Structure 1
Amino acid sequence: MIVSRSIKWRHVLFYTWKSMLYFAVLSVVAYVLHHKFDMERLTVPFNAIATLSTALAIFLGFKNNSAYDRWWEARKIWGMLVNYSRAWGREVMTLAVDPVGDEPEEMWNWQRSLVYRHIAFVHALRVNLRERHPYNEIEEELFETLNHFDEIRPFLTEDEFDEVVHKRNAPNYLLMNQGRDLKHGYERGWLSDYRYVRLGETLNEFHNHQGMSERIKNTPFPRPYSFFSRVFVFLHGTLVPFAFIEDLGLFNIPLSLLINFVFLSLDQIGERTEDPFENRPDDTPLTAISLTIEENLKEMIGDENLPIKPPPVEGVVF
């Protein structure tokens, strides 16, 4: 997620230079044809371009609003995951009671295991959603390196870790193990009927968070929006230089580039926002949220080995 108020221009130009080069060459060609070869009829009515610009702006605005809704929904899902994770830690630490009082260490290890396995679940879910590689060298430079399952090793036993890394859906398997541990605590008498059900309900919320995240991840943004917005931007950009060439002459070149850059940027904003789990600079900051959950839960159980949150990289929080 980009948190700085300014964006590096080299990043902007990286994604737009090819298109801008096309528009620049086209503007120069329009000027040469009109003023050097006297092809004065090679123009497009200004009213036609104005109408097309208005329609394109409305279309891009609708597309960007829809893309932002996906990004914001992802952020809300992970915000709720933070809340329920804190509730999970509180319930595990306060609802379990040793009725006899002669097994405090065993119950403490059981509670600790439930909290640590949840931290592993959060990190595993993040890695599962971000299972990809950066698209290019700019994203390689900003690519989040904490993106592998080795991160969850400290929170699991070696046997459980070896099982988890070979599962197709590691987060789901970890939740299954959480359910088994809850059943074990119920059988040992550490949880009453009501408390066992209450913890099970909280565990179900984590299934909901995982499912909602996977729905966004696995359901692409409607492709006609992306395809036709790109087509319309280039069609509009191709016609723009021929709308002002007669009145502006050489000044038509920078003006056409400016107009095309605006529409191209609008298209790129939607393109970069529609998929919030791809580990790109514009995406939902899953790493920062995961480390927040880890920090909160460790504090609840008195673990002083708190994670160190990485600072923003060129204004980007992952």
Structure 2
Amino acid sequence: MIVDRNLKWKHILHYTWRSIIYFSLLSVTVYALHVEFDLSKLSIPFNAIATLSTALAIFLGFKSNNAYDRWWEARKIWGLLVNYSRAWGREVLSLSISADYEDDQALKKWQTKVINRHIAFVHGLRVFLRKKHAYNENGITEIIEDNNRYEDLKDFLSEEEYKLILTKKNPPNYLLKLQGKDLTTAFKNGWISDYRFVRLDETLTEFNNHQGMSERIKNTPFPRPYSFFSRAFVLIHGTLIPFAFIEELGWINIPLSLLINFVFLTLDLIGERHEDPFENKLEDTPITSISLTIEENLKEMQDRTDLPPKPEPVHGVVF
């Protein structure tokens, strides 16, 4: 997610330079041909371009609003995940009770285990949403992208559990299953009552909901006709612009056409860059930062000092 108020031009040009070069060459070519051959017969009435510009602006605004809704929904889902993660840590620590000292030591190990596993679930969900998965002949998940790896879960799981989840197509979901089994163990050991068991299980169900809602956004692309036709209309509109001003403005047509095209191009890109908020792009929902916040909160609840460092913005971007 971009946090700087002022966008960096290198980020903007990274996505627009091809189109800018095309529109610049087109404007220069139209001007040169007009000077050399007089293109008065090919000029387009200004009113026609103005009508097209108005329609295109409405269409791009509609696209951008709907793309932003997807981004904001993703942020709200992960905001709820933060809230319920804190509730999970509090419930595990306060709703489970032991009978004697020896039992108390076993309970503390259980509490640490399920809280650490939840931290692994959060990081695992982050990796699962951002990664493209591949499976080798043994069914083991192979890492494709280096910046989001299941290796981040090693510190929060036993070696056996870590190797086990790598064989699963949906590691976060499997971690929730293990959490449910440990709740049953705590109930059998008398650490939680039947009511408290149900309360903790309801919180686990909320984590299922958060994962499911995130997967819905991840697996349901923004309607492709919006993306395709917006690019096509911006290209058509930008190609016609130089022919509307060449008669009256002459060489001024070159910078003016480029400026108008840049405005419509950026309107299109704003929507396009927010369509899929879990792709680890500059504009995405910062789920790495949110995951580390959850890890920090849960460790503090256990009075631990090995808190993760706060991620600093990289060139004005938080991931």
Bin for the TM-score computed over the shorter chain: over 0.9
Letter in 1 for 2:111: Q
Letter in 2 for 1:35: V
Task: Among all aligned residue pairs of Structure 1 and Structure 2, give the percentage whose two residues are the same amino acid.
Answer: 66
- CA 1:304–1:145 in 2, change beyond 3 Å: closer, same or farther? farther
* 1:258 aligned partner: 259
* 1:73 aligned partner: 73
Q: Which residues of 2 match residues 110-129 of structure 1 at below 5 A? A: 110-129=110-129
Distance 2:13 2:130 in 1: 25
- The normalised TM-score by structure 2 is 0.95
Instruction: Report how far residue 77 of structure 1 moved.
Output: 0.1
Q: Is the 8 A contact 1:124 1:152 kept in 2?
A: yes
Q: Which residues of 2 match residues 1-318 of structure 1 at below 5 A? A: 1-100=1-100, 102-132=102-132, 146-318=147-319
Map Cα deviations across residues 264-301 of structure 1 (whole Å, 9 max, x no partner): 00101111000000001100000100000000000001
Which runs of 5 or more residues in structure 1 are unaligned? 134-143
- The normalised TM-score by structure 1 is 0.95
Letter in 1 for 2:239: T
Distance 1:198 1:287 in 2: 28
What SS is found at the alignment partner of 1:191? coil
Between 30-39 and 265-274, report the one with greater CA deviation: 30-39
Distance 1:28 1:44 in 2: 17
Root-mean-square deviation (Å): 1.2
Instruction: Report how far residue 310 of structure 1 moved.
Output: 2.1
Q: Is the 8 A contact 1:129 1:214 kept in 2?
A: yes
* 2:139 aligned partner: none
Which runs of 5 or more residues in structure 2 are unaligned? 134-144
* 1:140 aligned partner: none
Map Cα deviations across residues 92-149 of structure 1 (whole Å, 9 max, x no partner): 000001135541100000011110000000000000001049xxxxxxxxxx964101
Distance 1:30 1:256 in 2: 11
Distance 2:79 2:171 in 1: 21
Distance 1:214 1:24 in 2: 41
Distance 1:99 1:40 in 2: 94
Provide runs of 4+ in structure 1 moved above 6 Å: none
Distance 2:40 2:311 in 1: 59
Count of equivalent residues = 308
